[in-house]
Amino acid sequence: MSEVRVRFPPSPTGYLHIGGARTAIYNWLFAKKHGGKMVLRIEDTDAERSTEESIRGIIDGMEWLGLDWDEGPYFQTDHAEEHNAAAVRLLATGQAYKCFCSKEELEARREAAVKAKADYRYNGACRDLSPDEVAAREAASAPFVIRFKVPREAGAVAFKDAVCGGIERSYQDIEDFVIVRSNGQPLYLLCNVVDDIRDRISHVIRGQDGLANTPRQILLYRALGAQPPVFAHMPLTLDLNKAKISKRSHGEVVAVHFYREQGFISWALVNFLVLLGWSPGDDREIFSQEELIEAFSLEGISRANSIFNYRKDDPKFFTDPKAININAHYLRTIPVSELATLVKPFLEQEKIWDPAYDGDKKEWFEKTLVMIRERFHTLKDFTTLGRAWFADDFTVDDKALQKNLLKHPPLKEWLPELADRLAALPEITPEEAERVARELAEAHGVKPGVPINGARAVITGQIKGPSMFEVFAHLERDKVICRLRETAKYFVVES
């Protein structure tokens, strides 16, 4: 096979969403797997809707995901002349023609057809205009569009899609489509083909919404004397109502930046997304970058649309539960030094980052992360659920407060007493802490869980967490003692 060249061609009309990201990922994996190149091409011909901000957002998203490209970003608008030249060439070679039918006229005909429930297709009225007629209308400066001359003999465009298999579309079903607007602007169908030819794209990997365009594009390739690339149309991602996911109806949850802000590890998102419509053929689900590149193939892409399992009002899952699960998996398995770099910006944003975590306290910081990451799902959790480790302004979880503290009023005295006992130790070790805590429970005739869970509430603010004996030993000694001594403040009766 000659050189593999793929492209990712977003139109800059919004942020990078997970559907686009998935397309980018598949292209990127395919390029990497075959030692090929990926081209990033910004399709900005729709000047009305294209924005700088959006371009920036897309590039940021790609970079965050770790999807690098070899060429570009190119901009479609930089090649306007080529697009025009192609149209002129098609006209000159008789493969396209000027159509003077008015927009209103065509609109009316289409509406009539819809009303009559008939199939509408351009009737080719201008297809066989004589040169004289064309000249006459041009002389009258009548506006025109340029249409592509679809073969009128019996036959069909057939191609083999790498995902969907053999696809065939008969010429009859394709109308003479417009390739240049009456204002002289070439349309997407043409621009896209011209750009892909210039960029020597060997494989077009895109969503199945592009499938219906393909026969027309193949006709253009032929007319321009170029070899069509291999097409691979991947399934679309739908929501639980089987509707296409979109910014409009789903909001932030489909935006790549949302996952970044929520504390996703970018590779975890990639890993989740790649599984949405692709399978390695075996039971593996967690992949390193190398493993994924190795395992990826177009054949593993499903033909059926997949559903992004997100329930809008589920308080437990802010996105697809599987995505969260995969993120949590990476959170507790990546090297702790790597985790530390990822957590840092979140702590900084909350203004609870201590520069010493990069210096003197580095060891303490990393051990803390290891202790608490086990039950966290996102990087953000370190600033919320794990806040008591890095700051004193944490709030005590209401359930912890009710169930583990207020339910046992004597804790008001017992926990300060525990503080005294711990303070009396020359060094707080997990073993000593356990001994002391159990002795205290025994002295008051309660189960050890009572003071221990109470201590967890006032020290970590949580109802769950690492072993308290480890916590006593690891958190700064004065914080442990101070928080236990202040237990009474939680018992203040509010009126």
Which parts of 224-255 fold into alpha helices (H)? 247-250
Alpha carbons within 13 angstroms on the beta-carbon side of residue 338 total 9
Question: For RNA, which is the closer residue by CB, 51 or 279?
Answer: 279
Question: For RNA, which is the closer residue by CB, 152 or 362?
Answer: 152
Q: How far is the CB of 360 from RNA (least distance, A)?
A: 27
Q: Which residues 6+ apart lie within 8 Å of 121 measured at CB?
A: 175
Q: How far is the CB of 478 from RNA (least distance, A)?
A: 21
Question: For RNA, which is the closer residue by CB, 155 or 281?
Answer: 281
Closest CA to 97 of 120, 124, 123, 122: 124
CA distances for 91 relative to 82, 94, 98, angstroms = 14, 5, 8
b/e string for 235-265 if b means 16 or more Cβ within 10 A? bbbebeeeeebeeeebeebbbbebbbebbbb
Question: For RNA, which is the closer residue by CB, 206 or 260?
Answer: 206
Question: For RNA, which is the closer residue by CB, 317 or 364?
Answer: 317
Residues serving a catalytic function are 247
Closest CA to 207 of 467, 428, 350, 27: 27
Q: How far is the CB of 213 from RNA (least distance, A)?
A: 5
d(CA 352, CA 464): 22
Question: For RNA, which is the closer residue by CB, 158 or 356?
Answer: 158
Torsion of CA 462, 463, 465, 471, to 10 degrees: 70
d(CA 70, CA 5): 10
Q: Count CB neighbours of 413 within 10 A.
A: 12
Q: How far is the CB of 207 from RNA (least distance, A)?
A: 8
Question: For RNA, which is the closer residue by CB, 202 or 214?
Answer: 214
Q: How far is the CB of 188 from RNA (least distance, A)?
A: 3
d(CA 3, CA 427): 66
**Angle between helical axes of 477-485 and 449-460 (0-180°, round to 10):** 110
Q: Identify how many contiguous H helices and E strands the chain contains and give both numbers.
A: 21, 12
Bond into 73 cis (ω within 30): yes
Q: How far is the CB of 19 from RNA (least distance, A)?
A: 11
User: Which amino acid, one-letter code, is at 465?
Assistant: G
CA distances for 285 relative to 276, 282, 332, angstroms = 11, 9, 16
Q: How far is the CB of 212 from RNA (least distance, A)?
A: 4
Q: How far is the CB of 266 from RNA (least distance, A)?
A: 19
Question: For RNA, which is the closer residue by CB, 225 or 315?
Answer: 315
Give kind and range of the element (H or E) at residue 105: helix 103-115
Is 125:157 a contact under the CB 8 Å cutoff? no
d(CA 387, CA 398): 15
- Find residue 231's DSSP bridge partners: 204
Q: How far is the CB of 105 from RNA (least distance, A)?
A: 8
Is 14:20 a contact under the CB 8 Å cutoff? no
Is 10:42 a contact under the CB 8 Å cutoff? yes
Question: For RNA, which is the closer residue by CB, 464 or 479?
Answer: 464
